[in-house]
Structure 1
Amino acid sequence: MTLLSTAQHFARNTRKDPRGHLIPIMVACAVTASAIVLIGYLLWPTWEPEVSAGPARLPVSIGTTLFNVPTAAIRMKIQRHSGPQERIDLSFSFPSLEAPPEAPKRVSAGSVEEAGQPIDRIFLSISAHHDALAPDMRTRTIYPRYLEQTSTSGEDGLTIRAFRDGSPYGNEDLFSANTPDISARCTRDAATPGMCLSERRVDGADLTFRFPRSWLAQWRDVADAMDRLTQRLRGPKG
């Protein structure tokens, strides 16, 4: 009887006001929407997926030689994986030798001269040498063919010999010292600051360091930095 009387009541009200039936429909919709929002809020997950920060160092084999490489120092994302690789490119802040907070944008070891801003990083490329001529042999047997006969003394016992113009190393100078040991081939300052290249061999891999020529004013610190990086990156011998 209650349902029938309620229906009759709505029917009378509808005849009096044709839009009267919309009110209960609107109220019902509002209540339903509020309930859906409340249920969704209560059921919405409050946890957030944990971001996996990957390993701080990666074991990388180059030329069958194992290196333990800081992940943050790797300059190319495609190289950020463990296992055998043909080459890997790194950069470290100088003089701290820590991995830089972020990889330098649009600057490479080969084009860093064009960046037009002070460089505070030492670049290092490690690549398999495949039995090519060792860097120290190149310094002793190849470079002397193209060097000027005279030499000059640089900062704190550093020796400087210029390469002859027209040679494969024209517009470059060779810096060397024995204590500590350092040998670096450097371009001369011109429109862009000169850059230096220093190489060494570790078993099956060659390490190529690149840094600004101006750093040779403190060449002992640079030589020490290269030695420490070599020791730090070298993995346990098998």
Structure 2
Amino acid sequence: MAVSQVTLPRARISRKSGHLLPIISGLAVAACAVALVAYLLWPTWRTQNPGGPLRLPVSIGGTLFNVPTAAVRMKIQRQSGPQERVDLDFAYPSLAPPAPKHITAEMVENAMPPIDRIFLSIAAHHDALSPEERVRTIYPRYLADTATTVENGLTMRAFRQGTPYSGEDLFSTHDAGFDARCTRDASTPGMCLSERRIGGADLTFRFPRGWLVQWRAVAAAMERLVVQLHGAS
């Protein structure tokens, strides 16, 4: 009798824990989604010394970029010279450094603010596989067989379930050299990632999936940013 009195409460606790696990997992996923949008839209460092330079010459992977000071998202990256990585954002479609937004956690939770900017990370690649090679040799291993035409000259192929890119889609076009890997719209808007390599650095552009309806304008905006930061490539 003494043994049964001890093991019965433990069994009940185990069953309750089993019911709570899916709820806890769901809350964790939702929190991560909100955190992602909050990170993208949160007003990071924007102050600038009135006497400071408007642009910073930055060397990333041995490649020189002329970066607008006001577009740098993190204060620690506001310096000229060699750097491993720089994170920037630009208002779309003007491509000017965006004005700071005063966004609170309550605003993000109650009404998701629209994303009105292109995010750009420039990082040294250290001879890793290039974005072009990844699109040509890695992604096809995980893509579904069928492709769908979604916009003028733009096709979509879904990544298969159970692959490293499950839940994402690959958008591409043959005539303009545009490729974007995008998450799907859910509790937060889907985001797209488009990459290119310049010298010793990889440029990673991020923008809302909803902008694909005007993908040619987005592709042209990314090209203008490349010219502004590095010159014609």
> Could you say which TM-score interval applies, normalised by the shorter chain?
0.7 to 0.9
- Following superposition, which runs of at least 4 residues in structure 1 exceed 4 angstroms of deviation? 103-107, 112-115
The alpha carbon displacement at 1:235 in A equals: 5.6
* Distance 1:159-1:119 versus aligned 2 partners, 3 A rule: same
Q: Structure 1 CA distance, aligned partners of 2:174 and 2:84?
A: 31
Give structure 1 stretches of 5+ with no counterpart.
Answer: 1-50
The percentage of counterpart residues that share the same residue type is 67
SS at match of 2:66: strand
The alpha carbon displacement at 1:67 in A equals: 0.1
**What are the Cα deviations for residues 172-194 of structure 1, in whole angstroms up to 9, with x where unaligned?**
00000133221000001111110
| Preserved CA contact (<8 Å) 1:113 1:192 | no
Which residue of the partner structure matches residue 154 of structure 1?
150
Which residue of the partner structure matches residue 61 of structure 1?
59
**CA radius of gyration, larger in:** 1
Which residue of the partner structure matches residue 138 of structure 2?
142
Q: Structure 2 CA distance, aligned partners of 1:144 and 1:201?
A: 20
Does residue 1:188 correspond to 2:184, yes or no? yes
Which residue of the partner structure matches residue 44 of structure 1?
none
2:72 to 74, 77, 82: 74
Q: Structure 1 CA distance, aligned partners of 2:232 and 2:169?
A: 36
Which residue of the partner structure matches residue 102 of structure 1?
100
The alpha carbon displacement at 1:102 in A equals: 2.5
* Distance 1:56-1:203 versus aligned 2 partners, 3 A rule: same
Does residue 1:171 correspond to 2:151, yes or no? no
Q: Structure 1 CA distance, aligned partners of 2:91 and 2:170?
A: 24
TM-score, normalized by length of structure 2? 0.74
1:224 to 213, 217, 220: 220
Which residue of the partner structure matches residue 122 of structure 2?
126
Two-structure CA RMSD over aligned residues (Å):
2.4
The alpha carbon displacement at 1:104 in A equals: 7.5
SS at match of 2:53: coil
Q: Structure 2 CA distance, aligned partners of 1:154 and 1:104?
A: 36
Which residue of the partner structure matches residue 87 of structure 1?
85
Which residue of the partner structure matches residue 204 of structure 1?
200
> AA paired with 1:172?
E
Q: Structure 1 CA distance, aligned partners of 2:66 and 2:199?
A: 15
TM-score, normalized by length of structure 1? 0.72
| Preserved CA contact (<8 Å) 2:91 2:97 | yes
